[in-house]
């Protein structure tokens, strides 16, 4: 009973506050569709993606919404859990574009699910803005309604191959997830490596596998100079632990999941020291836009910001910007037209879509220092010392 009274009291206060906060402004709501994963094996990356969307929506609404054609709109998110499945992705997309009638859909984690959603976006003329999946095919299909904020695996590979080439880490071997992210990463690197870098051993493992001993042995006996781990945090921590335990003298190269304080907690500074990883945005970089985002993220979620969150955060702002420029919150083709031409300076960098709908955000490489902090190595003009990565 007491908690009920407390809750109603709180509700009254909140209601009073919100009335006081936006006086006499008739607020309308725009519902934006989100496809992600909240359960199943993709729930962990899905959480970061959704954190980004929720933070962006909260900020937009906290500033009284956004204005289109003299009207103020608040953002609501309609989130569907599609479990990285093509059929469930199609269902969610169909529902969002017909039943929920959203003007734009954002998110997705899996390239295969995104590939099933893309044609429905085109059929129903609702732009789909991808913020995490990396399969190059998605934008190469030239579907006019598909946009991608994040770098695809070929773009990531191009930057990384450039970096690895400059370091002269040859031969380069891989341990990669046998899914779209892992295979896409290996194929992208294979195509982009400069001639001075030889491709070494490639070890694939299934999602859920935990024993990397035979890969570790093969990497050692192949004499690899560096090994790239294309996977996320959980297998990544196991793979590094096993590589370090076996004392294999290789340079470890990780993904954006591995350059975070969260990852440090899974292992320790001694085992991470010297490892490099690419990132969509280094959370501690001395840039105002990155710092501001990292602080807000940490204040809200109590942990260091994640690249997927930053990409998704920017994605929602890009969608809002497009609606403002198109002067509509309902007309899909007009919003699409605005997206195709807009330039937006986001947390991850400048977002401008090319003819295929692909943005070209910067790719960073950070390195673990001996004390558990990180520095920025790449791009060269962004290089910064320990504590900046």
179 binds other proteins (CB under 8 A): yes
Closest distance to other proteins from the beta carbon of 360 (Å):
20
Is residue 141 close enough to count as binding other proteins by CB under 8 A? yes
Residues binding other proteins: what is the number (CB under 8 A)?
62
Does the footprint of other proteins cover residue 108 (CB under 8 A)? no
By CB under 8 A, the residues from 325 to 344 that bind other proteins are: none
Least distance in angstroms from the C-beta of 240 to other proteins: 13
At residue 49's C-alpha, the angle toward residues 88 and 68, to 5°, is 95
Q: Within 210-229, which residues bind other proteins (CB under 8 A)?
A: 210-211, 213-215, 217-218, 220-221
Between CA 53 and CA 57 the distance in angstroms is 6
**Is 301 among the residues that bind other proteins (CB under 8 A)?**
no
CB of 288 or CB of 302, closer to other proteins: 302
Taking CB under 8 A as the rule, does residue 204 contact other proteins?
Answer: yes
Applying CB under 8 A, which of residues 31, 64, 74, 137 lies at the interface with other proteins?
A: 137
362, 348 Cβ separation under 8 angstroms: yes
Tokens of 345: 């300076």
Phi, psi of 106 (to 5 degrees): -130, 160
SS3 content of the chain, % helix, strand, coil (to 5): 45, 20, 35
375 scored as a contact of other proteins (CB under 8 A): no
Cβ nearer to other proteins, comparing 90 with 310: 90
- 340 near 318, Cβ under 8 Å? no
CB of 118 to other proteins, least distance (A): 8
CA distance 194 to 162: 7
> Does 138 participate in binding other proteins (rule CB under 8 A)?
yes
From CA 92, how far away is CA 262, in angstroms rounded? 31
Residue 338: partners with Cβ closer than 8 Å, 6 or more residues away: 321, 322, 323, 325, 326
CB of 6 to other proteins, least distance (A): 28
Largest Cα–Cα distance of the chain, in whole Å? 72
As given in the structure block, the two tokens for residue 373 are 């902090």
**Stretch of 83-91, 290-298, 328-336, 342-350 lying at the interface with other proteins (CB under 8 A):** 83-91
Cα–Cα distance for residue pair 347/332, rounded to 1 Å: 25
**Residue selected from 234, 261, 304, 360 as contacting other proteins according to rule CB under 8 A:** 234
Cβ pair 365, 160 in contact under 8 A: yes
Q: Please tell me whether residue 303 binds other proteins under the rule CB under 8 A.
A: no
Contact 238, 210 (CB under 8 A): yes
Q: Would you say 180 or 321 has its CB closer to other proteins?
A: 180
Binding segment for other proteins among 3-11, 51-59, 109-117, 155-163 (CB under 8 A)?
109-117
In the complex, minimum distance from the CB of residue 372 to other proteins, in angstroms, rounded to a whole number? 18
**Is 99 a binder of other proteins (CB under 8 A)?**
yes
What is the rounded CA–CA span in Å between residue 217 and residue 204? Answer: 14
Half-sphere exposure of 343 (CA within 13 A, CB side): 1
Q: In angstroms, rounded to a whole number, what is the distance separating the alpha carbons of residues 35 and 29? A: 19
Instruction: Say whether residue 249 binds other proteins (CB under 8 A).
Output: no
Select the span of 239-247, 282-290, 318-326, 364-372 touching other proteins (CB under 8 A): 239-247
Interface region with other proteins, contact rule CB under 8 A, candidates 5-13, 82-90, 345-353, 359-367 = 82-90
Distance separating alpha carbons of residues 349 and 344, to the nearest angstrom: 8
Strands (E), the chain: 28-36, 66-68, 71-81, 105-107, 128-130, 146-148, 172-177, 199-205, 226-230, 251-254, 276-279, 343-345, 350-352, 364-368, 374-378
Binding site for other proteins (CB under 8 A): 38-41, 43-44, 81, 83-87, 90-91, 94-95, 97-99, 111-113, 115-116, 118-119, 123-124, 135, 137-138, 141, 178-180, 182-184, 187, 202-211, 213-215, 217-218, 220-221, 234, 238, 245-247, 266
């Amino acid at each position: 009973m007491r908690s009920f009274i407390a809750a109603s009291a709180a509700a009254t206060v909140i209601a009073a506050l919100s009335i006081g906060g936006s006086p006499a402004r008739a607020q309308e709501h725009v519902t934006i569709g989100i496809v992600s994963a909240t359960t199943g094996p993709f729930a962990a990356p899905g959480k970061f993606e959704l954190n980004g969307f929720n933070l962006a929506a909260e900020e937009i609404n906290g500033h009284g919404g956004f204005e289109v054609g003299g009207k103020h709109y608040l953002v609501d998110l309609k989130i569907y859990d599609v479990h990285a499945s093509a059929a469930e992705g199609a269902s969610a997309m169909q529902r969002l574009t017909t039943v929920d009638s959203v003007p734009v859909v954002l998110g997705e984690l899996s390239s295969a699910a995104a590939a099933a959603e893309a044609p429905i976006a085109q059929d129903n003329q609702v732009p789909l803005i991808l913020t995490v999946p990396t399969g190059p095919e998605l934008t190469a299909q030239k579907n006019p309604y598909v946009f991608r904020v994040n770098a695809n695996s070929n773009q990531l590979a191009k930057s990384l191959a450039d970096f690895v080439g400059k370091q002269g880490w040859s031969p380069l071997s891989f341990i990669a997830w046998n899914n779209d992210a892992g295979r896409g990463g290996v194929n992208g690197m294979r195509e982009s490596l400069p001639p001075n870098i030889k491709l070494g051993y490639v070890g694939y493992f299934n999602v859920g596998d935990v024993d990397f001993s035979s890969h570790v042995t093969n990497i050692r006996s192949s004499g690899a100079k560096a090994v790239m781990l294309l996977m996320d945090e959980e297998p990544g921590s196991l793979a590094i632990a096993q590589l370090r335990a076996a004392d294999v003298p290789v340079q470890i190269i990780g993904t954006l999941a591995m350059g975070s304080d969260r990852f440090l907690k899974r292992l320790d500074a001694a085992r991470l020291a010297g490892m490099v990883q690419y990132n969509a945005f280094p959370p501690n970089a001395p840039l105002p836009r990155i710092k501001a985002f990292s602080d807000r993220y940490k204040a809200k979620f109590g942990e260091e910001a994640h690249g997927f969150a930053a990409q998704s955060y920017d994605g929602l702002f890009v969608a809002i910007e497009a609606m403002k420029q198109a002067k509509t919150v309902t007309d899909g083709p007009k919003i699409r037209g605005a997206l195709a031409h807009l330039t937006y300076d986001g947390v991850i960098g400048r977002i401008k879509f090319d003819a295929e709908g692909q943005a070209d955000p910067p790719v960073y490489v950070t390195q673990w220092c001996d004390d558990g902090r990180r520095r920025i190595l790449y791009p060269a003009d962004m290089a910064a010392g320990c504590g900046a990565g």
